[in-house]
Amino acid sequence: MSRTLYGLLSASAARTPHATAVEDPVRDCHLSYSDLEHAAGKLSDALQGAGVTAGDRVGIYAPKSTSSVAAIFATLKLGAAYVPVDYTAPPERNAYIFNDCSVRAVVVQRSLSEALVAALDNPGTQVHETGLDEDRANLGVDVVIVSTSLESDSAIDDLAYILYTSGSTGKPKGVMHTNSSALGFVDWCSEAFAPTGSDKFSAHASFHFDLSILDLYVPIKHGAAIVLIGEDVGKQPAVLAPLIAETGITMWYSTPSILRLLVETGKLAEHDYSKLRIVNFAGEVFPIKHLRAVKEIWRHPRYFNLYGPTETNVCTAFEIPAEIEVDQTSPFPIGYACSGDETMVVDHDDAPVPDGSPGELLVSGDSVMQGYWNLPDRNDAAFYLKDGKRWYRTGDVVIDADNGCYEFVGRRDRMVKRRGYRIELGEIESALYRHSDISEAAVVATPDETNGVKITAFVSTKNGERIGLIAMKRYCSQNLPLYMIPDRFNYPEALPKTSTDKVDYQKLATEAQ
């Protein structure tokens, strides 16, 4: 019998029924492994009563809570796939996602159900109770089930979840992962981090963000505890910093921007983090000065740079050295292939490039997605077929710097030409981050009749004050070729972020117009 994500829960519940599976420190509630299995079972019965069967899709539309964790495992128990969304997003956007993948039902926070029903605009929609009334004290968030009459012939074998990401067309696209592709990553984490039942994993990422796959399933596999960090608390360093210490988190995982905020305003030196043993980061480049600042305070954990778009889970990884050299200024590599994956670097004609030359990273193997939901043309473009093997085109440009250890250069879609020169916008950002007074930097390019593109740098400073234009231009001229110096500098108090804590480049591009 094939392994499943739900099987991880049932195995741990049989092994350690009374151990804590999920704790929500803000709502002061928790579930043991026995409790979680029981809640998932009752909720799966309610979903079944609402018409959900194996192969269906079930939406998750609620804040991160013990309730939403139970809903995820209830869905998986039925052999259905869960579709988590950002509960703070407009109901219309979430309704678009649910309609796109023809969900059979949605587990939704009761207070959000009326707006969702209106946005779905489906005459067959009904609201059902979950049957979990007696367990409500430990489930944290009151949820109901909204069933739909949506029908779809589409069914993907072994499908476990669909994560919707922003699409270039302006409409979100659904990334399909199976139990097998998730377990390929989870199993690698088991080898790399050696978790035990005494570990406590941070669940900082929202469940619609791919970082949540590690947060949920690695601890569940090993009978460890998931510590839920709500979306609001997760972005308040003054609250988050003591919470990490007081809950005794041993395994941390987030984007670099959250770690930077913790160092700058979390007063980390006031708390005891002696239990913290692994710090993982992913999702964006970690400027070396900010990584060095984290390591100066949290000295004893091991640090890992995990890389991979949503479509691949994590496909490369690099362990940061215990000591960062004083003269190190460039970010660390994204590392070597992992999760049972193979990688190769190709040029625009899909020919392998020589070592040390830039090219697009392609990934094939255990952790790669099944494809995009109901987007056959997009799937054709996303994969390169060679000798019967599918290679996912990441769109990221890398260099094989040392026998399969990759350095990230930038996005193909963030490379522009100005005055005949090819420019990687990330290289400009890296130079700006080396400025001692700059805490955040992002660069966008917009069309310009004279030079082809106009480059705008958005810079957030440590003291909140603008750096004079002449001083900024002088600094750039000392660190960049003249053709790469930005045309304009804007000084927002902080850079806008997406719901997954990454820089919102689309919003910045609009502001730069």
pLDDT surpassing 80 at residue 185 = yes
Handedness of CA 61, 67, 72, 75 (dihedral sign): negative
Q: Where in the chain is the domain with CATH 3.30.300.30?
A: 419-512
State the Cα–Cα distance between residues 194 and 212, nearest whole angstrom: 18
Q: Where in the chain is the domain with CATH 3.40.50.12780?
A: 5-182, 232-409
State the Cα–Cα distance between residues 230 and 206, nearest whole angstrom: 8
Residue 169: predicted pLDDT:
59
Q: Calculate what percentage of the chain has a pLDDT beyond 90.
A: 80
How does residue 168 score in pLDDT terms, banded at 50, 70 and 90?
low
Arithmetic mean of pLDDT, 422-451 = 88
Top-level class of domain 419-512: alpha beta
Asked whether the beta carbons of 290 and 257 are under 8 A apart, the reply is no
Arithmetic mean of pLDDT, 490-505 = 90
Asked whether the beta carbons of 220 and 12 are under 8 A apart, the reply is yes
Query: Would you call 348 exposed, middle or buried from its count of C-beta atoms within 10 A (0-12, 13-18, 19+)?
Result: exposed
pLDDT surpassing 70 at residue 135 = no
How does residue 110 score in pLDDT terms, banded at 50, 70 and 90?
very high
State the Cα–Cα distance between residues 120 and 231, nearest whole angstrom: 25
Asked whether the beta carbons of 386 and 334 are under 8 A apart, the reply is no
Residue 421: predicted pLDDT:
73
For residue range 58-83, list pLDDT tens digits in order: 999 999 999 999 999 999 999 999 99
Name the CATH topology of 232-409.
Rossmann fold (3.40.50)
pLDDT surpassing 80 at residue 155 = no
pLDDT surpassing 80 at residue 452 = no
The tally of CA atoms less than 13 A away on the side-chain side of residue 180 is: 13
Q: Where are the beta strands (DSSP E) in 308-418?
A: 316-319, 336-337, 341-346, 358-365, 371-372, 383-386, 389-400, 406-411, 415-418
Residue 1: predicted pLDDT:
52
Burial 427-456 (b: 16+ CB within 10 A, else e): bbbbbbbebeebbbbbbbbbeeeeeebbbb
Residue 191 phi/psi, 5° resolution? Answer: -75, -40
Number of neighbouring beta carbons within 10 Å of residue 41: 15
Query: Would you call 328 exposed, middle or buried from its count of C-beta atoms within 10 A (0-12, 13-18, 19+)?
Result: middle
Cα distances (angstroms) measured from residue 149 to each of 90, 98, 106, 109, 462: 22, 12, 12, 20, 53
For residue range 33-61, list pLDDT tens digits in order: 999 999 999 999 999 999 999 999 999 99
For residue range 229-260, list pLDDT tens digits in order: 998 899 899 999 999 999 999 999 999 999 99
Query: How is residue 245 written in tokens?
Result: 């210490």
State the Cα–Cα distance between residues 173 and 310, nearest whole angstrom: 11
What 3-state class would DSSP assign to 288?
helix
Could you tell me how many residues make up the chain? 513
Asked whether the beta carbons of 406 and 343 are under 8 A apart, the reply is yes
Arithmetic mean of pLDDT, 496-506 = 88
Supply the DSSP symbol for 388. Answer: T
CATH architecture, domain 5-182: 3-Layer(aba) Sandwich (3.40)
Query: How is residue 164 written in tokens?
Result: 């919707």
Residue type (1 letter), 57: R
For residue range 364-416, list pLDDT tens digits in order: 999 999 999 999 999 999 999 998 899 999 999 999 988 899 999 988 888 88
State the Cα–Cα distance between residues 130 and 49, nearest whole angstrom: 10
Supply the DSSP symbol for 329. Answer: -
